Amino acid sequence: MTASATGGPSQGAQHSEDGAEPDPRRWRALWVTLVAGFMSLLDVTIVAVALPTIQRDLGASPAQVQWVVSGYALTFALALVTAGRLGDALDRRRIFLLALSGFVLCSAACGAAPDITLLVVARLAQGLAAGFMAPQNSALIQQMFRGAERGRAFGFFGATVGISSAAGPITGGAILALASGPQGWRWIFYVNVPIGILAVLLGRRLLPRLSRSGRGHVDVPGVLLLGLGVLALMYPLVQADSGGLTRLWWLFPVGAVILVGFVQWQRRLVAKGTQPLLDPRLFSTVRGYAVGAGVGTLYFIGFSGVWLVFALFYQRGLGFSPLKSGLAVTPFAVGSAIAAVVAGRLVERFGRLLTVCGLTGVIVGIGGTATLLRLAPLGSAPWLAAPLLFLGGVGGGFVVSPNITMTLRDVPVRMAGAAGGALQTGQRLGAAVGTAALPGLFYVVLGRSHDYRGALVTALAAALVGMLASLALATFDWGRDRRKRDPHHKCPEEVANSPVHARQN
């Protein structure tokens, strides 16, 4: 197999950014970043199971309490690309530690919030801190690892992304079961504090320092354009439960126009020789980046909303407790955890084929679960569905982990933060679409037919549409790779001579 930017002879790819040998503490440092990343991604979904308790305890309206979830997701997505670029330009270690410290403080503020207004404000700040922390994770992997080690490290990172999304319901349900009472929801936030403090202390000791000869340029107009464009696209989605899609539909074309302007501005900076916020050549010259970003975005449209739909069906349709509802979908998280780690070791050998097989497994698992829950006796259906959910989880582990590896492995290290931020922004946008559309469709069908099974099947069928689109794109990329002599990598000369690599290295 020809070496790539992850393990080839190019000095910018073979060694760490300063040309030194890999840090012997890199694996311990990786676990620090993964624990922090797990907390930040888990907080996207873990709070959903506690919303009824929060609403009763704080006397909040449905629209107010929804901002506890959607506000976090909004500020998280807004920060990603800017934070990644700042890490590339300044110091990833420092930004990671500052963001993690802010996340811990905001978690404590959320737990102590005396009313819904302060809780929402603290959640907005917590999401911003999480957004600044997230792209540093993938960038630090690019910086600390090379060759086959990078694939294994991204395998653990992909497992973290997949498990954190699927584990939210069970984790939230378990905390509420242990911390019973009207104030028990506060421990959903407090649990981050001791873990986060330990991660900060270990991070200060283990994360590699990177000396730079000068300060990097930060594209402020680009930050504003991208932020406004993402905000315009996401705001109607996070307001979906209060009629945002019908009241604020006009923001979608506004956001699209702003993002077109952002792309033109980035191209103008490249033409002038100035460093942009997000180099457009990532999508045109870096092998696998554009396809990987598309596969991830489409997959998260279907994947993210599924868990809210299951929670609605189990808790409201079948009367399950939050803990029992979480246990019912635990097989998916278990399968995803096992497969994602294994996939990190196989991606260099099988490449995009892993994603194709994984997406097929997810589609079969979720589709089979929907069929079983529709037809089988309600008393036994959730538990009969466990093997199918496990199959779906194994498939999910073969989607997220390899896709992250193949999307980012040829990205020049000096652009790793911005590239990782853009990849995660697409995933957050996809997740916002899924979490708005699938529960909304569930409620529409339920309101017309009062049939919980029919509502579940309809919503899951819509989720499968996004997954099928992701499968089509992955299959196209796999077929294109098969027609090439070297299906997995550019040759070293292509990487070394690409415009992005040449400019950044």
Asked if the structure places residue 5 within a domain, the reply is no
Residues 165 and 297 in one domain: yes
Domain-ending residue, one of 258, 276, 294? 276
Residues 238 and 377 in one domain: no
What's the angle, vertex CA 133, arms to CA 132 and CA 139, rounded to 5? 105
Residues 367 and 469 in one domain: yes
Domain-ending residue, one of 236, 253, 276? 276
Asked if the structure places residue 61 within a domain, the reply is yes
pLDDT at 496 (0 to 100)? 45
Asked if the structure places residue 329 within a domain, the reply is yes
User: In the block, which residue shows the tokens 């012997």?
Assistant: 24
Asked if the structure places residue 1 within a domain, the reply is no
Q: Which residues are CB-contacts of 110 (< 8 A; sequence separation ≥ 6)?
A: 119, 122, 123, 126, 186, 189
Residues 59 and 188 in one domain: yes
Asked if the structure places residue 4 within a domain, the reply is no
Residues 255 and 168 in one domain: no
Measured CA to CA in angstroms, residue 252 lies from 235, 236, 257, 426 at distances of: 9, 8, 9, 15
If one counts the domains in the chain, the total is 2
Q: Which residues are CB-contacts of 14 (< 8 A; sequence separation ≥ 6)?
A: 7, 8, 146, 147
Asked if the structure places residue 456 within a domain, the reply is yes
Asked if the structure places residue 168 within a domain, the reply is yes
Domain-ending residue, one of 259, 276, 293? 276
Domain of 347?
A: 11-218+277-504
Measured CA to CA in angstroms, residue 391 lies from 170, 349, 357, 396, 405 at distances of: 18, 22, 11, 9, 22
pLDDT at 62 (0 to 100)? 75
Residues 202 and 331 in one domain: yes
Q: Which two tokens stand for residue 349?
A: 């050998």
Residues 371 and 466 in one domain: yes
Tens digit of pLDDT at every position of the chain (505 positions): 333 333 333 333 334 444 456 778 889 899 999 998 888 888 877 887 787 788 888 888 877 887 888 788 888 888 888 888 888 777 888 899 999 999 999 999 999 999 999 999 999 999 999 999 988 888 888 888 877 787 778 778 877 876 776 677 778 878 888 877 778 889 999 999 999 999 999 999 988 876 554 456 677 888 888 889 888 888 887 776 667 778 888 988 998 999 999 889 888 988 888 778 888 888 888 888 888 899 988 998 888 778 878 888 888 888 888 778 878 888 888 888 788 778 877 877 888 889 999 999 999 999 999 999 888 887 788 888 899 999 999 998 898 878 888 888 778 877 777 788 888 888 877 877 887 788 878 888 888 888 889 899 999 999 999 999 999 999 988 888 777 645 444 544 344 445 555 444 4
Residues 156 and 103 in one domain: yes
Beta carbons of 44 and 168 less than 8 angstroms apart: yes
Asked if the structure places residue 6 within a domain, the reply is no
Q: How far apart are CA 382 and CA 366, in angstroms?
A: 12
3-state secondary structure of 15: coil
Q: How far apart are CA 135 and CA 281, in angstroms?
A: 19
Instruction: Quote the crossing angle between the two packed helices 192-206 and 92-112, to the nearest 10°.
Output: 170
pLDDT at 111 (0 to 100)? 92
| CATH number of the structural domain spanning residue 362 | 1.20.1250.20
Residues 211 and 250 in one domain: no
Residues 253 and 344 in one domain: no
Residues 261 and 285 in one domain: no
Q: Which residues are CB-contacts of 11 (< 8 A; sequence separation ≥ 6)?
A: 19, 505
Q: How far apart are CA 398 and CA 63, in angstroms?
A: 37
pLDDT at 241 (0 to 100)? 66
Residues 241 and 288 in one domain: no
